Structure 1
Amino acid sequence: MIKKIAILCSIFLNLCIVRWEPVAIRMTWEAVGSQTFTFYTENSNVFAFFVCLLVAVCQVICLFTGRQLPRWVKTLKYIATCCLTMTFLTVVFVLGPYCADQGGVVFLLTESSMLYHHLLNPLCAFVSFVLLEREPKLPARCVPLALVPTMLYGSVALWANYQRLITGPYPFLLVYQQTTRQTVLWCAAILAMNLLYAWLVWRLGGNCRKKRNVGLLFRS
């Protein structure tokens, strides 16, 4: 019974993201138009939209069959959750203080599409993954996979800034307004944060194997 309740709650939270994302992406498009997909936030939330839709469908099947989520589906949810966690924590610890004169963290977490993209979607993804989607366990080798979307986005965004195709949209991507050393340090710091967040999400999701009971060593 508890397992079925967890599955139902998982379905609900995943469908919340599926319902909110079209609303949020439309708000962003109305505000910045074709620049929408230059933002890591928007790309990660669109990715999460498709993943959460897939998870919700699979959870409905699990509800009737008693099976677990396919491991590859949970791996995708893990990666999407890490991307949204990265978005949320970057807003809180980096962009919020940087934009303090414009309202800071409160503004970036509550205004327009940012309410969904920076706060509600990340929270729903995190809670559903960590508390409700604990099976099957994911091996530690999945942790580096969470860095792939960030590395892909960063590579394309830095190249586009270098080619002057876009400007920013984040201050640490402004390659012509900072030294090469600063750009490299920013990249290293962001990837290090991403790796730390990915490990924490993996660990909080109950994927760390428990140590074998010491008492077993003394069995006769």
Structure 2
Amino acid sequence: MKQHSLLDKLRRVLSILLNLAVVYMEPTAIRMSWEAVGDQTLTFYTENSNIFSAGVCLLVAVCQVWALISGRELPRWVKRLKFLAACCLTMTFLTVVFVLAPYYPNEGGVRFLLTESSMLYHHLLNPLCVFVSFVFLEREPRLSARNIPLALVPTAVYGAIALWANYQRLWTGPYPFLLVYEQTTRQTVLWSVGILLMNLFYAWLVWLAGGNRR
């Protein structure tokens, strides 16, 4: 059993606080989303990734408390789930800034998408809390590079369901690049490949920022 230094204990306490902050904010954010779009809430990657991340953050907080008591490290499988959550929310934040904001120039762009209603939590505060806690406070145990492609799984699953639902006319969007009947098949394929490649690049950056090396 490893004895943690004072700095390690401080990091764990801060990790617990940031993870619990996400757990605390998510019910408020999801209620705002539901009030705005009703049962369409769960058609959004943003809402799904934030719900998933809040669940992971609760698990991490519990495990960190146990780690403080027992002197053990955070279980690797829990760290792996936190990595997936950090990748999902980093994807959400950067897609808002670089992809979605240009679609809404007359509605305030980045300012509107990062500060209004539930978007303040889902697009800004939750992603920041999850990224900061993963990168600076939860550096152990280290993850191998084999974990990087796992970050594609949540995005690929959501994308497959969303594209199928749009093709079946069960959903409309909710993102412009999912509107399969308003763009060519080639555009849909290019968007899909581009988003997955972007997701993989972001996952590599998150993995690297978290202090992991080959």
The TM-score, its normalising length taken from structure 2, stands at 0.97
Structure 1 residue 178: Cα displacement: 0.2
Moved more, 111-120 or 94-103: 94-103
1:21 aligns with 2:26: yes
Q: Structure 1: which amino acid aligns with 2:209? A: L
Q: Structure 2: which amino acid aligns with 1:81? A: A
Structure 1 residue 77: Cα displacement: 0.3
CA distance in 2, matches of 1:36, 1:76: 23
Q: Structure 2: which amino acid aligns with 1:65? A: S
| Matches for 1:54-69 after TM superposition, within 5 Å | 54-69=59-74
CA distance in 2, matches of 1:49, 1:104: 26
Report the equivalent of 1:36.
41
Instruction: Count matched residues.
Output: 209
Report the equivalent of 2:3.
none
CA distance in 2, matches of 1:208, 1:80: 20
SS of match in other structure, 1:108: helix
Report the equivalent of 1:8.
13
CA distance in 2, matches of 1:121, 1:66: 28
Structure 1 residue 100: Cα displacement: 1.1
| Matches for 1:59-98 after TM superposition, within 5 Å | 59-98=64-103
CA distance in 1, matches of 2:105, 2:91: 19
Structure 1 residue 97: Cα displacement: 1.3
Q: Structure 1: which amino acid aligns with 2:14? A: C
Any idea what the Cα deviations from partners look like across 1:75-95, whole Å, max 9, x if unmatched?
000000100000000000000
Moved over 6 A (4+): none
For structure 1, which runs of at least 5 residues remain unmatched after alignment? Answer: 210-220
Report the equivalent of 1:163.
168
Any idea what the Cα deviations from partners look like across 1:146-200, whole Å, max 9, x if unmatched?
1100000000000000000010000000000000000000001100110000000
Asked which structure has the greater CA Rg, the reply is: 1
The TM-score, its normalising length taken from structure 1, stands at 0.94
| Matches for 1:59-208 after TM superposition, within 5 Å | 59-208=64-213
For structure 2, which runs of at least 5 residues remain unmatched after alignment? Answer: 1-5
Q: Structure 2: which amino acid aligns with 1:117? A: H
Q: Structure 1: which amino acid aligns with 2:182? A: Q
